[in-house]
Amino acid sequence: MLIKLTGGQVYDPASGVDGQIQDIYIQDGRIVDMPVGDFKIDKEYDLHGKVVMSGAIDMHTHIGGGKGNIARTLLPEDHRQDPVSRSDITRSGCGHAMPSTFVTGYRYAEMGYTAGFEPAVLPINARQAHMEMGDIPILDKGGYVMLGSDDYLLRMLTAKKDQKAINDYVAWTMNAAKAIGVKVVNPGGINAFKFNQRKLDLDEQNAHYGVTPRDILEVLATAVKELGVKHPLHVHGCNLGVPGNVQTTLDTIQGIGGLPMHLTHIQFHSYGTEGDMKFSSGAAQIAEAVNNNKNITIDVGQVLFGQTVTASGDSMRQHYNHKFASPNKWVVMDIECDAGCGVVPFKYKDQNFVNALQWAIGLETFLLVNDPWRIFLTTDHPNGAPFTSYPHLIRLLMDRSFRNEVLSTIHPEAQKMTTLASITREYTLQEIAIMTRAGAAKLIGLKDRGGLSAGNWADITVYTDNTNRQTMFEKPDYMFKDGELVVVDGKVVHTKWGTTHVVQPDFDPSVETGLKDYFDRYLTMKLGNFKISDDEITEDGRGSITVHPLNGVA
C-alpha cells in the first residue's frame, strides 16, 4: 500500500523543513522516498493549503500508574460532567480532568498527538503504569522510572557505594521497570516525609540517611549520562510551589555542574517572594539561566484556569498542598520503601492572585526561553490543566493580542506583577513543531519518530491553517499513526495499538546479589517477581516493545 500526501505545507524541524510545499510517501507504516520508476499510488490525499507536521509527542503527561487511578476514583463528580459514549469502533469512558484510558488515547489522537510519556513510574508500580498505558489506544507510550527516594539508593549513598554500583542499580531498575528515562521527584524528600520531615531544601540532610537532594541529583544525573541514556535525568525539583523556590531552582541548575538535566514543570519552581503578597514571578531569572546553560532542558507545566486534579509522586509537598484542595478531599500515600504519591484536586481561578500569577509565570517562561529545542509544551497533565487544553495554550503562545486579551481579565494585582504584556514574541508554527515534535523526540531519544523524512514511522498530522490557532490545533483534518489513517476531521475513524518505547542499558548482573538480599530481608516481594517481563506487555497481542539506542552505542 503506497500512500501519497500531496502538496502540503510541511513543518519538519528534524529535517530543517520550514513550511515548504512537499509531497510525502508512506509505505508499510513508514515514510519513504518517492519511489523510482513506474509506481502506483494506492491512495492520495490532496493537502494543498494544509499544514503538515509529524505526530505530536507529549513528553510529560500523567497517563499511567496508581496515582492517576486514585485521582480517577476520587472524582466521580468530575467524570459525570463529561461522559463519553461508545461507538462501533470506540469504547466508552469519561473525560475532563483525568480521563479514562481509552478516552485518553482518543482525545490525544484527535488533537494530532501520537505519543505520550508517563513521567512518574514508581518501580513497584511500574506494572500498573504499563497495564494502564496498555489500555490507551492509538498512542505510543513510555515511562520514566522514579528513583531518589527509594531506600535502596539512599542506603547505597550512605554506604558510599561508588558511581559504577549506582549506575548498575539504575540500569537494572530501568530494565526491570521497562523505562526510557529516569525521573527524580523532590530528591530524597518523599523519603524524608516518611521520617516526618516536612520540607527538604537542596542542601538539607535526610534525617535518617544524612544524604542531601544535591547528592542524589549528582549521582543520578551522572548515572544517566554514563549509561548512555539519551533522556537527561528528569527532575521535579525541591520545594515545589514554595514562594522563593526560584533560588532553589537556580542553585539546582548551577549545582549540576554541566551534566544534562531536564527540569520539569518548571513553572511550579519559579516563584519569588516580592510584592505585597510575597509571591512573585521568577520566570525571567529562570529563563536567563536556561538560556545560559545548554545542558538544561525544561518543560513548563502551564497552569490554565478551571477544575483539575493534581497527582504527583511528591507526597511531602502534596501533603502541604492539601490545604488548597478543591473540592476538599485528597489522598497521600507512602509506598513500599520506594516512593509515595499525593493526589489533590485543584481549581485554578483567574481571580485568585496566586493562580493568576502562576498562569502568567508559565507564559513568561515560554516566551523568554530562546531555544525551542530546549523547552517543551506541557501542562504537566493533569496538574496544571488537562491535556485537552493544549490548543488553547498554543494560541496563547502564537497570538499576542489574544494573550493580552486574556491577561487583561485576570486578577488585577497579578497583572501588575507580570511583564507578560510587554513581551512581543509570538511562537511560529516551526517553533511549535519543534517543541511538540522534533525536540520532544530528540529529548526522549526516540529513533525514527518526530520527523517526516524517509525512514521515520509515518506518524503524521494534517491541519487546516487558521489564524485562530486554537481552532486549528483542536481539530486536525487527518492523523496517521504508523501509516494508518486514524483521525479525520478531529474524530477517530479507526483505532490501533501503539508501541511501548524503552531503553535497555547494560548492567553488571552481579547487581542482583545485593538486590536479592535486600528484597528478601526488607521488601514484600521476591526479586524475580518484581521484574517485568516482555510478555507482560505483549501477551495480549496488542502491545509491543520498541528498544531505542543509547548514546555511544550503535
Query: Applying CB under 8 A, which residues contact other proteins?
Result: 66, 68-69, 72-76, 79-80, 83-86, 88, 91-94, 98-102, 122, 124-125, 127-128, 131-132, 135, 151, 155, 193-196, 208, 319, 325, 328-338, 343, 521-526, 528-529, 532-533, 535-536, 539-540
Rg (C-alpha) for the chain, rounded Å, is 22
Nearer Cβ to other proteins (328/468): 328
**Among the listed residues 166, 171, 65, 154, the one whose alpha carbon sits nearest the alpha carbon of residue 116:** 65
CB of 543 to other proteins, least distance (A): 12
CB of 95 to other proteins, least distance (A): 9
Calculate the alpha carbon distances from 151 to 148, 154, 159, 161, 337 in Å: 8, 5, 12, 14, 6
Nearer Cβ to other proteins (24/75): 75
Rounded Cα distance between 396 and 64, Å, is 28
Residue 450 phi, psi dihedral angles, 5° rounding = 85, 5
CB of 261 to other proteins, least distance (A): 29
Angle between helix 151-158 and helix 163-177 axes, rounded to 10 deg: 170
Please, are residues 268 and 240 in contact by the beta-carbon 8 Å criterion? yes
Rounded Cα distance between 26 and 32, Å, is 6
CB of 324 to other proteins, least distance (A): 14
Nearer Cβ to other proteins (83/258): 83
CB of 530 to other proteins, least distance (A): 9
CB of 82 to other proteins, least distance (A): 9
Nearer Cβ to other proteins (12/314): 314
Please, are residues 104 and 136 in contact by the beta-carbon 8 Å criterion? yes
Residue 533 phi, psi dihedral angles, 5° rounding = -90, 160
CB of 107 to other proteins, least distance (A): 13
For residue 255, the surrounding DSSP H or E stretch is helix 245-255
Nearer Cβ to other proteins (24/84): 84
CB of 520 to other proteins, least distance (A): 9
Nearer Cβ to other proteins (330/353): 330
Rounded Cα distance between 60 and 311, Å, is 13
CB of 404 to other proteins, least distance (A): 37
Nearer Cβ to other proteins (256/343): 343
Rounded Cα distance between 397 and 42, Å, is 39
Nearer Cβ to other proteins (197/453): 197
Nearer Cβ to other proteins (254/533): 533
Please, are residues 125 and 66 in contact by the beta-carbon 8 Å criterion? yes
For residue 358, give the C-alpha cell: 502562576
Calculate the alpha carbon distances from 515 to 120, 152, 336, 420 in Å: 22, 8, 15, 51
Nearer Cβ to other proteins (296/492): 492
Nearer Cβ to other proteins (401/524): 524
CB of 127 to other proteins, least distance (A): 4
Nearer Cβ to other proteins (333/423): 333
**Among the listed residues 465, 487, 469, the one whose alpha carbon sits nearest the alpha carbon of residue 478:** 487
CB of 206 to other proteins, least distance (A): 12
Characterize 439-477 residue by residue with b for buried, 16 or more Cβ atoms within 10 angstroms of its Cβ, and e for exposed. Answer: bbbbbbbbeebbbbeeebbbbbbbbeeeeebbebbbbbb
Please, are residues 384 and 307 in contact by the beta-carbon 8 Å criterion? no
Q: What is the DSSP string of 48-73?
A: TTEEEEEPEEESS---SSHHHHHHHH
Rounded Cα distance between 122 and 370, Å, is 33
Residue 545 forms beta bridges with which residues? Answer: 500
Give Cβ neighbours of residue 56 (< 8 Å, ≥ 6 apart): 111, 112, 113, 114, 115, 436, 437, 440, 461
Nearer Cβ to other proteins (72/183): 72
Q: Which conformational region is residue 342 in: left (phi greater than 0), alpha (psi within -120 to 50 degrees), or beta?
A: beta
Nearer Cβ to other proteins (91/349): 91
DSSP state for residue 125 in the 8-state scheme: G
CB-hemisphere CA count at 13 Å for 240? 29
140-146 and 181-185: which strand pairing? parallel
CB of 519 to other proteins, least distance (A): 10
CB of 128 to other proteins, least distance (A): 5
Give Cβ neighbours of residue 40 (< 8 Å, ≥ 6 apart): 2
CB of 305 to other proteins, least distance (A): 23
